Amino acid sequence: MMAAPLSAQTVATVKATAPSLRQHGEAITTRMYERLFVNADIKAMFDQAAQKSGEQPKRLAAAILAYAENVDKLQALEGPVHRIAARHVETGVKPEHYPYVAEALLPAIRDVLGEAATDEVLEAWGKAYWFLADILIGQEREMYAAPS
């Protein structure tokens, strides 16, 4: 199932969050990983050295910011999206893992941004997350199926 194309309103809402993400992105992703790693099986999939150093939250924050800034011109993100999909395949990420990230990311946005993370903002980010997740899942499916 492919996510519906993002509406103009969703795109505008996501783009409008870019300044907040620039300022608070690492706090959001750090909080997201705290929420995500309550699940030991998910935590085991991640390089904990990259977590402790702050490198992984920093990389994810940069990726989320790039997505927010380019959500209306996704062709600008083809290279990074391909690299993320390849990394996911290396580490065994499967479609069933994506809901866990959504369930950690969206509340983390609210945890960090507080009242600025309105229901409208979280709904837009939920749609944007699943739109991108579908792209990644599709690329990962092809990579998993390719002869090695």
Contacts of 72 (CB under 8 A, 6+ apart): 11, 15
Q: Known catalytic residue: 140? A: yes
Q: What is the pTM of this model?
A: 0.92
Q: Known catalytic residue: 98? A: yes
pLDDT digit string, tens, across residues 2-12 = 666 899 999 99
pLDDT digit string, tens, across residues 19-67 = 999 999 999 999 999 999 999 999 999 888 989 999 999 999 999 999 9
Which member of 67, 98, 103, 129 is catalytic?
98
Please state the separation of Cα 88 from the chain's center in Å.
12
Return the CATH class of domain 8-145: mainly alpha
What are the boundaries of each domain within the chain?
8-145
Which member of 129, 140, 142, 144 is catalytic?
140
- For residue 83, give the 3-state DSSP assignment: helix
- 92-106: b (≥16 Cβ within 10 Å) or e: ebeeebbeebeebbb
Residue 147: which pLDDT band, with cuts at 50, 70 and 90?
confident
Q: What is the per-residue pLDDT for 86?
A: 96
